Amino acid sequence: MKIFLLEDDFALNKIIKQSLQNRGFYVDSFTDGYKAIEFISNSKYDLYILDLNVLGFDGHKVLEFIRNDDLNVPIIMISAEIDIENIKKSYTLGCNDYIKKPFDFEELFLRIQYHLSHIKKDENSDFIVDLGYDFSFNLMEQTLHKSKFEIELTNKEKLLLTLLVKNINNTVTNEMIHEYVWDSKEMETVSMRTIVHKLKKKLKNGMILNLRGVGYKLIK
């Protein structure tokens, strides 16, 4: 799953990012509110972690910007500000959680698990999705298994399969893939086809359908 991190302390930013990556998350991290807004405009994430006091747009403005586009995505605020007014404003603007610094990284991970699990409950789904033919995919850990054996995936394959699984039996357009897997960055069409082809080889033939000129569909 994709996590967006905004934290202006370079050392803390690096530690949080590495900690989450070690847990299997794909993380984009920023230290500047202006750059964060610019990137958010062209990308989609499963969860946001926002520091309150950053350069450019502060965490509240970034929170408000996200909520204008998506009312449901989990947003966790992190801040050394402990006054009730900042906490109240954060929840009023729509954050799901507010963690006071300093915090234990295990606590942050538990909060992330909690909010992501509630999304899946709302969608009447579990983290481990049965794909049929003895294949299963863990949305939290982004791991693919055939029976009891894990099938190795690249980062791009993890993101693509996550997108397909979250939209199982529905069409995932080329535009959706471009946005989620490549963060809307410039890419060649052959790159997308290559990743899809490699992922198809790791699944049973026919599980991923090619909808020519439109996109792809994972069939269960």
Q: Is the pLDDT of residue 185 over 80?
A: no
Q: Cα separation of 212 and 98, whole Å? A: 45
For 16-71, the pLDDT digits (tens) are 999 998 887 889 999 999 999 988 887 889 899 999 999 889 999 999 999 998 98
pLDDT at 88: 94
- Longest CA pairwise span in the chain (Å): 57
Q: Is the pLDDT of residue 74 over 70?
A: yes
> Taking a C-beta distance cutoff of 8 angstroms, is the pair 112, 3 a contact?
yes
pLDDT at 42: 78
> Mean pLDDT throughout 2-23?
92
- What string of DSSP letters covers the chain? -EEEEE-S-HHHHHHHHHHHHHTT-EEEEESBHHHHHHHHTT---SEEEEESS-BSS-HHHHHHHHHHH-SSS-EEEEES---HHHHHHHHHHT-SEEEESS--HHHHHHHHHHHHHHHHHHTT--SEEEEETTEEEETTTTEEEETTEEEP--HHHHHHHHHHHHTTTSEEEHHHHHHHHSTT----HHHHHHHHHHHHHHS-TTSEEEETTTEEEE--
For 193-218, the pLDDT digits (tens) are 899 999 999 999 999 999 988 999 99
pLDDT at 128: 83
Mean pLDDT computed over every residue of the chain: 89
Which backbone phi and psi does 20 adopt, to 5 degrees? Answer: -70, -35
pLDDT at 150: 93
Q: Is the pLDDT of residue 80 over 80?
A: yes
Which backbone phi and psi does 218 adopt, to 5 degrees? Answer: -95, 120
Q: Is the pLDDT of residue 168 over 80?
A: yes
> Taking a C-beta distance cutoff of 8 angstroms, is the pair 79, 103 a contact?
no
Domains of the chain and CATH, by start: 2-122 (3.40.50.2300), 128-218 (1.10.10.10)
Residues 6+ apart with CB under 8 A from 199: 153, 157, 160, 161, 208
For 116-139, the pLDDT digits (tens) are 877 654 444 457 889 999 999 988
